[in-house]
Amino acid sequence: MRRSQLFVPGNMERMIQKSRLLGADSIILDLEDAVPAGQKEKARALVSKSVSEVEWGRRELCVRINSPSSRQGRADIARLGSLDRLDTFVIPKAEGDLSTIHRSTGKRLIPIIETAKGLSGIDLVTGSGGVDAVAYGAADFSLSVAGSVSEYLDNVYVKTKIVVAARSTGIDPIDNVFFDLKDMSGFEKSARQARALGFSGKQVVHPSQIRTANRVFSPSREELKWARKVLGAYNKSSRSGKGAIALEGALVDEVHRKLAKRMLDDSSTAD
Ligand code: GLV
Ligand code: MG
């Protein structure tokens, strides 16, 4: 479950220590863009020590490495690839087939689609061995296509393409980070749009965004009430041979039964 996936700068010891106490479903210790060039080696050592020594609980623990084709990225993989507690490598600016990283380390992979080439060849990325979720990076993406971050933060074309690629191979799509830390209603709106498009969670960059993400990506009380009502009415009518009924003025048939069931299944995994 990744309703919220928190980025923590890999060179900030206090933030790393604190992150385990927060309610994020998944944590990403970042060695890429949150760490300045001169601190890469220091951060790699700190992240390596923290992965092994901090009590992370049962949540997913990830590290975002530097680009795997760079010297820093290769050093990240070599240093961290054999740490047992590390579940997943998050791969920035992912393009092409990533299977060799999974084969050489056994780690799961979460590629971030954040370049034009990554998006246009997304099936190659998501079809790589070991990939079990895919994320979106709106800032780098806007850089790659010479557009603006504000447009690409909520761009429906890009997001739909990522959701379709993910769901067609049975992996989770995770929505992008939202940079304005003071705009909580903007964050919630963005999360709601993402959930409606089919994302299963959202990456977050501040503790204040975690609770909202966890709430938005869990079924609400009203949704659960609706789901129970649909299942009850459908089961009753199908016993008497009717597959399509009107429930409070709206048509309900087999697909609505499936939607209602998915909602209840989602709520039992969120418990
Ligand atoms: C995140 O990595 C972004 O580029 O938006
Ligand atoms: Mg990026």
Share of residues in the chain with pLDDT > 70 (%) = 99
The confidence score (pLDDT) of residue 268 equals 76
Taking only the tens place, the pLDDT of each residue in 54-98 is: 999 999 999 999 999 999 999 999 999 999 999 999 999 999 999
Tell me, yes or no, if 76 is annotated catalytic.
no
Q: What residue segments make up the domains of the chain, in order of their start?
A: 4-216, 221-270
The confidence score (pLDDT) of residue 266 equals 82
CA 37 to ligand 2 centroid distance, Å = 15
CATH code for the part of the protein at 4-216 = 3.20.20.60
Residue nearest to atom 1 of ligand 1 (CA): 137
Segment 25-31 shows an average pLDDT of 98
The confidence score (pLDDT) of residue 270 equals 63
The confidence score (pLDDT) of residue 114 equals 98
The confidence score (pLDDT) of residue 45 equals 98
Taking only the tens place, the pLDDT of each residue in 104-160 is: 999 999 999 999 999 999 999 999 999 999 999 999 999 999 999 999 999 999 999
265 pLDDT higher than 90 = no
The confidence score (pLDDT) of residue 234 equals 86
Strand pairing of 88-91 and 201-204?
unpaired
Cα 35 off chain centre by: 21
The confidence score (pLDDT) of residue 21 equals 96
Ligand 1 and 140: CB distance under 6 A: yes
Query: Which ligand has the minimum distance to the alpha carbon of residue 178?
Result: 1
269 pLDDT higher than 80 = no
The confidence score (pLDDT) of residue 102 equals 98
How does residue 263 score in pLDDT terms, banded at 50, 70 and 90?
Answer: confident
Residue nearest to atom 2 of ligand 1 (CA): 137
Say which residues have a Cβ less than 8 Å from residue 87's Cβ, sequence separation at least 6: 60, 61, 62, 107, 108
The confidence score (pLDDT) of residue 271 equals 60
Ligand 1 and 110: CB distance under 6 A: no
Q: What share of the chain is helix, strand, coil (3-state, %, to 5)?
A: 50, 15, 35
Catalytic residue among 253, 265, 266, 271: 253
DSSP letter for each residue of 190-249: HHHHHHHHT--EEEESSGGGHHHHHHHTS--HHHHHHHHHHHHHHHHHHHTT-S-EEETT
How does residue 240 score in pLDDT terms, banded at 50, 70 and 90?
Answer: confident
How does residue 215 score in pLDDT terms, banded at 50, 70 and 90?
Answer: very high
Ligand 1 and 113: CB distance under 6 A: no
CA 93 to ligand 2 centroid distance, Å = 7
Share of residues in the chain with pLDDT > 90 (%) = 85
Say which residues have a Cβ less than 8 Å from residue 270's Cβ, sequence separation at least 6: 1, 3, 218, 219
Segment 36-60 shows an average pLDDT of 97
